[in-house]
Amino acid sequence: MSQGVHQIDAVGLVCPLPILRLKKRIQNLPSGTQVEFLADDPSGRRDLQVLCELTGHSIEWVREEEDGVLRYRICLA
């Protein structure tokens, strides 16, 4: 059964809320799950990199949207 890509929207939230939202929403998802994470917090990229280093998740790509929102594709460890 394919679950597709899970989208987690943290646009408008400021540190540490985007990463806390992400951690809460992915905690019960299986390894290999693809997550699309949207955030516009300036410290979000660094926070996400640290989270991935600690957990083994991988950031597959990052795209900056025209409105300043960063769209991350993450593969869960």
Q: Is 17 helix (H, G, I), strand (E, B) or coil?
A: helix
Active-site residue, from 15, 17, 38, 52: 15
* Residue 75 appears among annotated catalytic residues: no
Burial call 42-53: b when 16+ CB within 10 Å, e when fewer: eebeebbeebbe
**Residues marked as catalytic:** 15
